Each structure stands twice: as C-alpha cells, then as structure tokens.
C-alpha cells in the first residue's frame, strides 16, 4: 500500500504527512526535488529537525548542491524506499509537490537510462537557434517517428532529449518509455485551497524564511563555491538572490521577486495536479482537518487490508 500526499507549495503537506505517519506507523518518502540537496534547508522549506524526529524520512539530504538527482535516479531510490518500508510492515507516504516525480511512481514510468550529454545538448540547441526547431524535429522524425508524433516541434527541450537518447543509445526513445503501474493499492490525497489565499499563505512563508536566515543560507552556499549555474542553485528561492549578492538590487526587491515566482510555481504545480483527476481525492485544507483526512485513510486501509492496520 502507498499513500500519496500531493499539492502545491505552502499548502500543508508536511503537517498532514506527519499526522498520518504518527497515526498509521508510517514513514515519509520525499517527492520534492528541491529537498534532495544538503545545506539548502530554509529556501526549500525542508522539514525541521523536530519534524524529522516525528517520523522516519527518506530522500532528504541525499546529494550535494553540485550533484544532480534525475528522474530515473529518483524513481529507483523512491521505489527501493517504498518497497523496504512495506516489507517492514510500515506504511509508506510519498509526499511532495513535484508532479513529474510523483506521477513517475504512481504510474510506473519506464525512464530511459541515458544520462545527459551536455556537449551534445548544446550542439543541438545551438542548431535549433540557428536553423529553427523544425530541423531537429525532422531529424527526430527520421530516427523515431513515434516520438516525433508525440512531441510538438516547438518543444525544443523534449525534442533534444529524444534525440539525445536515440543518438547515444542507438534505440528510439519511444521503445524505452512506457508505464508499468505498481501492483500495490495507492491512495492519492490532494490538498488545495482558494488560489488567492494560497498566494497570501505562500507570501507569509517567504517572509518567515527570510526571518529564519535565508540570506545567510544563500551566502553560505556561495562562499562554499556553489555556482549560480548549478541546477540546485538556479531553483526558486535561491537564484533570485544573484543580483542581490552582485550589488544590483535590494533585499526587499528579492523578496518580492521570490513571492512572484512562487505564485508562478504554484500555477505550474496545478498544471501537473488536475483537480478533475478522479484518481486523486482532493481536500480543501480550509474546510478539512488532518483528523478528518485520517478517517478517510483509515476507511481506505480497512477496505484494502482488513484487520491489518493500526
């Protein structure tokens, strides 16, 4: 069995995950791609030491900021963690706001095992800028017509990745993809609320982050030698500080930029999490308590595994 807790940033996923972990002898598996990185605690809203002590957590602080945790690597580690938790008779809780990572687990995506080749990507992207994206798409159509049919010619990033896989592995990416959903039952819990209220809630959290020492956290990362071009450093809550540390803007302006980009990020997350998705049980957090959601989970567990839950 697997409980999934999903939803946009600042909605209250951590609070619910801890409540359910304590109620059902559970362990949390993070599906937040920003919380993989060490030394990046405040800006990623990582659970506090007190929260981490309330339940075992997996896939938090698993990489340094100059490392990359790709989707395939995440899926391997998350699947291993979920299987281990189940084998020990506990309840795994997959928790996060990174829709792609959650769907990879829930839908059982098969992911091509071809690591990125930055030189090849740069050449292909340069060609797209020089000659237009259709040139790359035409090349993909010759190598992998199935993939070309699925990808719009203007989606250069996906076209480049498909070409990269084809050229490096010698096999069409379409033959390396697919889905093998897990065999165990999954309950997906989605958290939502009025969008404007969520924006205000997220804004207040940004202010709390600054009060908690976010500026010092970013300064420490820069002084440790982590460059702004790193994927981890280019993320929300960090890259916005670049002009500040270069003396080009004020802290107040940085805070406003983070708030604006957080709103944009929330809209992006809702694109992944469809409120009309019948596979997700949605709860408005302003109308539902954690205890009420606990009752829903308890009823679901009773149906799936009678007489075998706390």
Q: How confident is the model at residue 176 (pLDDT cuts 50, 70, 90)?
A: confident
Q: How confident is the model at residue 276 (pLDDT cuts 50, 70, 90)?
A: confident
- pLDDT tens digits along 54-85: 999 999 999 999 998 888 899 999 999 999 99
* Mean pLDDT of the 163-177 span: 88
- pLDDT tens digits along 18-27: 999 999 999 9
Class for the domain spanning 118-176: mainly alpha
- pLDDT tens digits along 35-61: 999 999 999 999 999 999 999 999 999
pLDDT of 112 strictly over 70: yes
Helix pair 156-169, 118-131: axis angle to 10 deg: 130
Pair 117, 168: CB distance under 8 Å: yes
Question: From the CA atom positions of the chain, what is the Rg in Å?
Answer: 21
- pLDDT tens digits along 213-255: 999 999 999 999 999 999 999 999 999 999 999 999 999 999 9
Residue 102: its pLDDT value, please?
Answer: 95
Residue 65: its pLDDT value, please?
Answer: 96
Structure tokens given for 132 = 């237009």
Question: Could you tell me the residue ranges of all domains in the chain?
Answer: 2-111+180-304, 118-176
Three-class DSSP labels, the chain? CEEEEECCCCCCHHHHHHHHHHHHCEEEEECCHHHHECCCCCCCCCCCHHHHHHCCEECCCCECCCCCCCHHHHHHHHHHHHHHHHHCCCEEEEEECCHHHHHHHHCCEECCCCCCCHHHHHHHHHHHHHHCHHHHHHHHHHHCHHHHHHCCCCCHHHHHHHHHHHHHHCCCHHHCCEECCCCCCEEEEEEECCHHHHHHHHHHHHHHHHHCCHHHHHHHHHHCCCCCCCCCCCCCCCHHHHHHHCCCCCHHHHHHHHHHHHHHHHHHHHHHCCCCCCCEEEEECCCCCHHHHHHHHHHHHHHHCCCCCC
* Mean pLDDT of the 124-145 span: 95
Q: What is the CATH number of domain 2-111+180-304?
A: 3.40.50.300
- pLDDT tens digits along 151-164: 999 999 999 999 99
Rounded Cα distance, 297 and 92, in Å:
13
Residue 12: its pLDDT value, please?
Answer: 95
Residue 306: its pLDDT value, please?
Answer: 55
């Amino acid at each position: 069995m697997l409980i999934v807790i999903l939803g946009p940033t600042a909605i209250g996923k951590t609070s619910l995950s801890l409540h359910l972990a304590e109620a059902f002898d559970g362990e949390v598996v993070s599906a937040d791609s920003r919380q993989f990185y060490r030394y990046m605690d405040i800006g990623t809203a990582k659970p506090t030491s007190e929260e981490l002590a309330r339940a075992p957590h997996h896939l938090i602080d698993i990489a340094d900021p100059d490392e990359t945790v790709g989707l395939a690597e995440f899926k391997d580690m998350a699947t291993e963690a979920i299987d281990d938790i189940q084998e020990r008779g506990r309840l795994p809780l997959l928790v996060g706001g990174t829709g792609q990572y959650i769907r990879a687990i829930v839908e059982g995506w098969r992911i091509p095992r071809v690591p990125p080749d930055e030189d090849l990507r740069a050449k292909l992207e340069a060609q797209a800028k020089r000659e237009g994206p259709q040139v790359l798409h035409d090349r993909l159509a010759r190598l992998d017509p199935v993939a070309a049919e699925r990808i719009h010619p203007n989606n250069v990033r996906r076209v480049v990745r498909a070409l990269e896989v084809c050229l490096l592995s010698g096999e069409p990416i379409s033959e390396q993809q697919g889905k093998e959903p897990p065999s165990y039952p999954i309950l997906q819990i989605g958290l939502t609320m009025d969008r404007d209220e969520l924006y205000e809630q997220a804004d207040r959290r940004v202010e709390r982050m600054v009060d908690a020492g976010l500026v010092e956290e970013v300064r420490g990362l820069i002084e440790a030698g982590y460059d702004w071009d790193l994927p981890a450093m280019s993320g929300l809550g960090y890259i916005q500080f670049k002009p500040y540390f270069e003396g080009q803007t004020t802290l107040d302006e940085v805070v406003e930029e983070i708030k604006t980009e957080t709103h944009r990020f929330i809209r992006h997350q809702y694109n992944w999490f469809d409120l009309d998705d019948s596979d997700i049980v949605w709860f408005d957090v302003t109308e539902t308590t954690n205890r009420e959601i606990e009752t829903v989970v308890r009823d679901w567990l009773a149906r799936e595994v009678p007489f075998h839950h706390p």
